[in-house]
Structure 1
Amino acid sequence: MRNDRGSLMRPFPLPESASRPVVTPLSPSVVYASDTPDALDAQYEGRVQGYTYAREGHPNADVVAARIDAMEGATGGIVTGSGMAAVTAVLLGLLRSGDHVIGGNQLYGRSLRQMKEDLPRLGIATTLADAGDVDAVRAALRPETRLVLVEVVSNPALRVADIDGLAALCRNAGVLLAVDNTFTTPRAFRPFDHGADIVIHSVTKLLAGHSDVTLGYAVARDPALNEAMRVFAVTAGLTPSPFDCWLAERGMLSFDLRFDRAQATAEALADHLAGLPGVKRVIYPTRPDHPDHARAAALLQGQGCNMVSFELDGGRAAANAFTRAAEELAFAPTLGDVGTTLSHPASSSHRALSAEERAALGLGEGFFRVSVGLEDLEALREVFTRAVAEATGG
C-alpha cells in the first residue's frame, strides 16, 4: 500500500516547463521558504534577491511598482493596500513629532481629515493653503516645515496647482514637495519632470481602471526616502493584496487607450453640460472659463483628465432628482472605472467637512463630480440632457 503520510509536506516541486507564461503568475503565498539560515541572511542583507514574508514584499507588488516606476520615470516605488495607505506611508514614514507639513486646501476629503485631525494628534503641525497660490504657501512656511503635499488637479473642484512655482519654492526652502498624481496620471503629467520630490497614486482609480482593485503607490526621487517609506509601510502593515496587484497589472496594459478615450469624451461632455439649462457652472481644465485655464494650458500641455465637475441649480433636491433620473450611471464614490460614475462630494468624499467649509471650496449641495468612462459620447449626452432637465425642471 502506498504511503501518503507525507503528501501534505511542503514544498512540492513545480512542474518543469521549457516555455514560460505570457501572463504574470499570481503569487498568493504569504511566506517563502529559504534553503538555509545563511541564504536568508543573504536576502535580508541585500546580497541576493528573494522574498520571505508577503508583508515585506511579494512578486506581484514588485511587478506593479516596476510598471508605474516606468510610467513616472522613477525607481524604487512601493505599492500599498490603498491610495490613502500610500499617502500615510509618505506622511508618517517621513515626518516626526515637531515637524510641520503644508497641504493643499482642496485635497481629497480623507487626506484633508488626516491633515486636520490625525497628524496634529501625533504632534505634527499642519497648515492648509491654496496650491495654486505660491505666495500663500510661502506665507505658511515655518522653520520646522518638512513637506508640502498637493494634488496636480484637485479632487473634486479640479483646480490646478502651480507645481512649477511650488517646486522652486520648496527647493529654495529645503522642503520636500509631494504630488498626488491620481487625477492626471503619468499619461498627462509627470511630477518628477517638474521638480517634485515624491509622487503618489491611488492605483485603485485610473491605473487599474475597473473598480475591482484597492491599491496605492508612492515613490521618492531620493532612495533613502523610498527606504523610509517602505520600512514604515512594512511595519504598519500597509500590505497590498497579491490578487489586487495581479488585477491592477492587467488593467494597466490598457491604461493608455482607456485614458485617451475617456479624456476626449470628458472634454466633449463638459462642453455639452455647459450648454444645458439648469447647469450653473462646469469645471474642466481645458475650458476657457476654468479659473486656472492659463496654468492648466501651460502645465498640462493641452491634457485635461477624465474628470468633469458641474453644479446644478436647485441644491440637494435637484441632486437627488438627478441621480434618480440618470439611472444608467452608477452613483458611487469612485473614479477611473471603465463605466461613467457620479459622485456627490457633500454626501461622500467631503461629508466630514462642515457646510461652511464645503461652501468655501465651492462644493454646494448641487455639485457633482463625474468620472467619465468608455461609453459612447452620444449616449452620455442623452443621459445627462434628460437627467438635468428632470432635475431642474428644464
Structure 2
Amino acid sequence: MKKTIQRPVVPPASVSTPVVSPIYPSVVYASDDPDGLDAQYEGGAAGYTYAREGHPNADLLARRIDALEGCSGGIVLGSGMAAVAAVLLGLCGAGDHVVGGNQLYGRSLRLMAEDLPRLGIATTLADPTDMAAVEAALRPETRLVLIEVVSNPTLRVADIEGIARLCRDRGVLLAVDNTFTTPLAVRPFALGADIVLHSVTKLLAGHSDVTLGWVAARDPDLAVRMRVFAVTTGMTPSPFDCWLAERGLATFALRFDAAQRNAAALADWLAGQAGVRRVLYPTRADHPDHNRAAALLGGQGCNMVSFEVAGGRKAANALARAADGVAFAPTLGDVGTTLSHAASSSHRALSPEARAAIGITEGFFRVSVGLEPLDALKTTFAAGLAAARDA
C-alpha cells in the first residue's frame, strides 16, 4: 500500500462562526514553501509559525485587554512576572539605571535588588507617593521608572501624574503595573505612562485557574523589543490559559464592581473591630493617600483591603486558622475572598527591618475581597479576629 504524508487539517468551511473562541493547541503551523515562511517572518503576510512566537489565543486575549487599556499591540506572556521581566530585561542593559517603587510586589523587588545588579543594571527604590523622592533617585543614566498605581500589599497610591511629568521631562520611560487597579479604575496610558503591564492571573482572569501576564508600550519599537525578548526567553503563554482568561474577561466588569462594593463595606467594618490596629482602603478618609486616591481613581477603591492586628505572628496564625471560609493563600482576584500574609509570602525575601520600613508587620494581612455575601464575610472575619485576640 502506498503511504502518503498527511497534510495539516484545515477546519471545514462554514457560513456561520463560533460564538466562543476556539482553542488552538497546535505548537507548529505549516506554510506552503520557504517564500511563504519568509513573508510571515518579514511581515509581508500574516500567520503563525511556532507557538513560542505567537498563537491565535494569545492574540485574541491581547486584543481584548488592549481595548480595556485603550491601546494597541499588547503582548500576552506566561505570567505577570514575565511581563515585569520583559520590561526590565527587554528594555534595559548593562550601564542603565532603574528606579522602582519601594513598595512593589515582593518578586518585583527581588528582581530589582538581586537580579538586575548582577547583570550590570543599577537600581534604586523610592517612595512613589512622593514625586520629590523619585526625582532625587534619578540619575543621568536612568532608563526607566517602574511603579504600581496602588502598591502591593500596603495600598499606597502613587503620584502617577507627577511622576509621568517628571519622566517625560527627563527622557525616562515610565512603566506602570495596573494589576490592582485595573483599567476600570484607571488607564495609565492616559496619564502619561509609556508602558503598562498586568498580572492577568489576578482580576482580569478572575478565577484562580490561569497564570498569565500582559504588557503594552506606547512606542511600537519598545513593544517589538519586549516581544523579541519574550520569544527568545520562552515566555510563551498557554493557549488554554489564554482561552480561560478571555472567558473570564466576559464577566470582569460585573465581578470588579461587586467585589469593590464588598471591599469598601468590609474595610469600614474591620475598622470598628477590637484588636485591629489599622485598616487600609483607598476611599477611607483615614487612608494616607485619600485625596490622591479620590482624584486618581474617581472615588473607586478597588477590591483590596489591608489591615493589621495586634499580637504579631502568634495572633496572625490564630486568625488565619480561625477564618474558616476564606482561603489563606498568596493570591488575589478570585471570585472567592482570599487572605494573604505578606511577611510569610509575597515579601518573605525582605528582612524584617525592610518589611517594617514599608509598614509590613507580622500582624499585617491583605484581603482580596470576592463575591460572597457581606454578612458571611463579616462572620468569618469576626471568628478570625476573636481568635487573634485570644492568642
In the superposition, the TM-score normalised over structure 1's length comes to 0.98
| Deviant stretches of 4+, over 4 Å | 3-6
Q: Aligned residue for 2:26?
A: 29
Q: Aligned residue for 1:232?
A: 229
Q: Please point out which of 254, 257, 260 is paired with 2:257.
A: 260
SS of residue in 1 equivalent to 2:278: strand
SS of residue in 1 equivalent to 2:59: helix
- Displacement after TM superposition at 1:139 (Å): 0.6
Could you tell which deviates more after superposition, 160-169 or 377-386?
A: 377-386
> 2:316 aligned with 1:319, yes or no?
yes
SS of residue in 2 equivalent to 1:55: helix
> 2:146 aligned with 1:144, yes or no?
no
2:147 aligned partner, one-letter code: V
Q: Please point out which of 104, 107, 110 is paired with 2:107.
A: 110
> 2:147 aligned with 1:162, yes or no?
no
- Displacement after TM superposition at 1:16 (Å): 3.0
> In 2, Cα distance between the equivalents of 1:69 and 1:336?
20
Gaps of 5+ in 1: none
Q: What is the CA deviation profile of residues 9-63 of structure 1, one whole-angstrom value per residue up to 9, with x for unaligned ones?
A: 2313433323211100000100100111111111111111100000000000001
Q: Aligned residue for 2:42?
A: 45
> In 2, Cα distance between the equivalents of 1:193 and 1:295?
16
Q: Aligned residue for 1:370?
A: 367
SS of residue in 1 equivalent to 2:346: coil
- Displacement after TM superposition at 1:272 (Å): 0.4
1:352-391 equivalence runs, <5 A:
352-391=349-388
1:196-207 equivalence runs, <5 A:
196-207=193-204
> In 2, Cα distance between the equivalents of 1:208 and 1:14?
28
What is the alpha-carbon root mean square deviation over aligned residues?
1.1
Q: Aligned residue for 1:123?
A: 120
> In 2, Cα distance between the equivalents of 1:17 and 1:171?
51
1:92 aligned partner, one-letter code: L
> In 2, Cα distance between the equivalents of 1:256 and 1:34?
40
- Displacement after TM superposition at 1:260 (Å): 0.5
> 2:184 aligned with 1:187, yes or no?
yes
> In 1, Cα distance between the equivalents of 2:326 and 2:260?
18
SS of residue in 2 equivalent to 1:92: helix
> In 2, Cα distance between the equivalents of 1:14 and 1:183?
40
> In 1, Cα distance between the equivalents of 2:195 and 2:76?
14
> In 2, Cα distance between the equivalents of 1:12 and 1:200?
36
> In 1, Cα distance between the equivalents of 2:293 and 2:9?
57
Q: Aligned residue for 2:240?
A: 243
> 2:343 aligned with 1:346, yes or no?
yes
> In 2, Cα distance between the equivalents of 1:298 and 1:19?
47
> In 1, Cα distance between the equivalents of 2:330 and 2:72?
31
Q: 1:13 to 1:51 in 2, by over 3 A?
A: closer
2:172 aligned partner, one-letter code: V
> In 1, Cα distance between the equivalents of 2:101 and 2:387?
36
1:236 aligned partner, one-letter code: T
Q: Please point out which of 169, 181, 186 is paired with 1:172.
A: 169
> In 1, Cα distance between the equivalents of 2:44 and 2:206?
37
> 2:56 aligned with 1:59, yes or no?
yes
> In 1, Cα distance between the equivalents of 2:48 and 2:276?
55
Q: What is the CA deviation profile of residues 45-103 of structure 1, one whole-angstrom value per residue up to 9, with x for unaligned ones?
A: 11111000000000000011100100001110101000000000011110010000000
Q: 1:44 to 1:341 in 2, by over 3 A?
A: same
1:235-314 equivalence runs, <5 A:
235-314=232-311
SS of residue in 2 equivalent to 1:369: strand
Q: Please point out which of 323, 331, 336 is paired with 1:334.
A: 331
SS of residue in 1 equivalent to 2:383: helix
- Displacement after TM superposition at 1:298 (Å): 1.1
SS of residue in 1 equivalent to 2:359: coil
Q: Please point out which of 148, 153, 163 is paired with 2:150.
A: 153
Q: What is the CA deviation profile of residues 318-339 of structure 1, one whole-angstrom value per residue up to 9, with x for unaligned ones?
A: 1110111111110000000000
SS of residue in 2 equivalent to 1:378: helix
Q: Please point out which of 132, 135, 138 is paired with 2:132.
A: 135
2:362 aligned partner, one-letter code: E
- Displacement after TM superposition at 1:5 (Å): 4.9
SS of residue in 1 equivalent to 2:26: coil
SS of residue in 2 equivalent to 1:102: strand
